[in-house]
Structure 1
Amino acid sequence: MAMIDMNANDKTAKIRILVVDDEEDLCEILKFNLETEGYAVDTANSAEEALGLDLEVYQLLLFDVMMGEISGFKLASRLKKNEKTADIPIIFLTAKDTENDMLTGFNLGADDYISKPFSIRQVAARVKAVLRRTANKEEAPEKELLVYETLSLDTTRIKAAVDAQEIALTKKEFQILQLLLENKGKVLSREEILARIWKDEVYVLDRTIDVNITRLRKKIGAYGKNIVTRLGFGYCFEV
C-alpha cells in the first residue's frame, strides 16, 4: 500500500483517531498514513485493549469487525449505549461485505463501512468525509438526549429506546418519561404532572396519569421498576 504524501492541516492536527484491528501490521500502516495526514492516531489490537483506553478523547473510531471474543459490532454497541461515547463517529473496516453485515453496521450507528481490501487513499478520503459530516452536526443545535443506563430518550427526534431497541410510546407517555428523567430522584405530584403534560386540557382525571404510567412501565421493561409511586405524593424516577 502506498503512503499518502499530503501536507498536514492545522485543523486535523487536533483530531484524535483510534484504530482497533487484530492485524498489527494494518494498524501500523493506517497509523503511519493517517498521521501523515495530520491526525493524532492510537492503535489497539483487540476490543478488550480498546476498552481499557479513555475512549472519550477520540473524535473518530475505526473498528475491524472480526476480532476475538468481542467483535467490532459488539464493541460499537457498547459504546453507543454509553452517553459519554455514543456520539463518537465509527467507521467499520472489514472483510465482511454482505448486505446484511453492512446493514448491521449502519443499524449500530456506524458512519461508514469500508470493505477489505482497501487502499489507504480510500480510507483517508472516507475519514475526511465522516469528520466533515460530524463537524457539520456539531455546528447544528445539539440533540437533547436523556439517558439512564441503557434507557435513552431523544427529545429532538422524539425517539425512545431500551438496549438500543426503539420502543413505541404515545405522546403523553413520552412526555411523562421525559419529565421523570429530567427530574430523576424527585417526587412529582399528580397535580404537577397534570400541569406540565396536560396543561390547558380541562377534563383530566388523576386516574388518567395512573393509566399512562402503568402502560409506560410495561413498555420500558426492566426500567419500569424505576418509576415508583409515593402514596399520597406522586411519582418518581428512582435511580
Structure 2
Amino acid sequence: MRLLIVEDEKRLALSLAKGLTAEGYAVDVVHDGLEGLHRATETPYDLIVLDIMLPGMNGYRVCATLRAAGHDVPILMLTAKDGEYDEAEGLDTGADDYLTKPFSYVVLVARVRALLRRHGQGKGSSPVHVVGGLTIDLGARRVVRGEGEDEIALTAKEFAVLEQLVLRRGEVVSKAEILEHVWDFAYEGDPNIVEVYVSALRRKLGARLIRTVRGAGYRLEAPR
C-alpha cells in the first residue's frame, strides 16, 4: 500500500513517514498543498494523510479538488484546530476521517488501517483470504499455514508485495504496478528488486503460489 503524507510540519511528517514505513507501507511526503494535489492526481495512492493548514493550498481545497475530479482515495485529515465546525467542514469537503493534533501515533495507524480496510470492502474485497492452504489476513498483516497457528514470518516489504497480489488474485500484476504501490517516490533502484521479493515469498509460501507470466508480471493462484 502506498500512502501520501501532506504535512508542512517537517519533523512530524518525517516521523509519521518513518513509523508508517516500518508498518510496511510505502510513504511519500510533501510539505505544500499544491504539490500534494499534484502528486495525488499523478500517482495512484491508496490513502492520503492531509493536514488542513498548508502553504500553497489548504487541505480543505486539496480534498475538495480531488473529490470534484472523481478521485475516491481515502483521506485522513489532520489539524491543530479543535472544533466541531472544522471537523464538519473537513468531512463536507469529502474527507473520510479526521484527527486533531496532538494525536497518538497508535491511533493514527489504527485509523489508517480502518480506512484502507473500509475502502477495500467497499470494492467487494475481504481482509481475510484463503489461498492454497494459507490464510492471509490483510488487516492483521499475518499469514498462517493450515488451520492451526503456524504463522509464517514475513518482512514488511514481503507482506506488502504479497498484499498487491492478493488484492488482484487471478489477475496479472506487473512489476511497475507493484513498484508503484510498495516502493516510495524516491526509489530509483533496480526494478528487478520485485523479483527478489517474489522469490523470497515463493521460498516461504510455496513455489507454486505465485506464477510468472512472462513479459507481463505475476499472478497469485491457488496450486492444484
Q: Which has the bigger relative contact order, CA under 8 A and spacing at least 6?
A: 2
1:72 aligned onto 2:59: yes
What is residue 108 of structure 2 aligned with on the other side? 123
Divergent runs of 4+, >3 A: none
1:51 to 21, 34, 37: 37
Report how far residue 69 of structure 1 moved: 3.6
The number of equivalent residue pairs is 124
RMSD over aligned CA atoms reads 1.3
**CA displacement at 1:87 relative to structure 2:** 0.6
The alignment status of 1:109 with 2:94, answered yes or no, reads yes
Task: Name the SS for the 2:123 alignment partner.
Answer: helix
- Against the structure 1 CA distance between its residues 60 and 100, is the aligned structure 2 distance closer, same or farther, given a 3 Å change threshold? same
Deviation at 1:49, TM superposition (A): 1.6
* SS state at 2:24 partner: coil
Is 1:42 equivalent to 2:5 in the alignment? no
Q: 2 CA distance for matches of 1:18 and 1:54? A: 8
* Partners of 2:37 and 2:66 within 8 A in 1: no
Q: Which amino acid aligns with 2:61?
A: K
- For residue 123 of structure 1, report the CA deviation from its aligned partner: 0.5
Q: Is the 8 A contact 2:10 2:31 kept in 1?
A: yes
CA distance in structure 2 between the partners assigned to 1:54 and 1:61 by the alignment: 8
CA distance in 1, matches of 2:59, 2:88: 14
1:134 pairs with one of 119, 132, 141: 119
One of 16, 25, 43 as aligned partner of 1:30: 16
Distance in 2 (CA, whole Å) between partners of 1:126 and 1:54 is 20
Q: Secondary structure at the match of 1:109?
A: coil
Does 2:72 match 1:87? yes
Matched residue SS, 2:54: coil
CA contact (8 A) 2:6 2:32 kept: yes
The equivalent of 2:130 in structure 1 is: none
CA distance in 1, matches of 2:46, 2:103: 22
Following TM superposition, by how much is the alpha carbon of 1:52 offset from its aligned partner in structure 2, in angstroms? 3.1
Identity of aligned residues (%): 40
Amino acid at match of 2:95: A
Is the alpha carbon distance of 1:40 and 1:97 closer, same or farther for their aligned partners in structure 2, counting shifts above 3 Å? same
Indicate the structure (1 or 2) with the bigger Cα radius of gyration.
Answer: 1
1:93 positional shift: 0.8
Correspondence list, 1:1-239, <5 A: 15-53=1-39, 55=41, 56-83=43-70, 86-139=71-124
Equivalent-residue separation in structure 2 for 1:29 and 1:23 (angstroms) = 10
Q: Aligned letter for 1:124? A: V
**Structure 1 length normalisation: TM-score?**
0.50
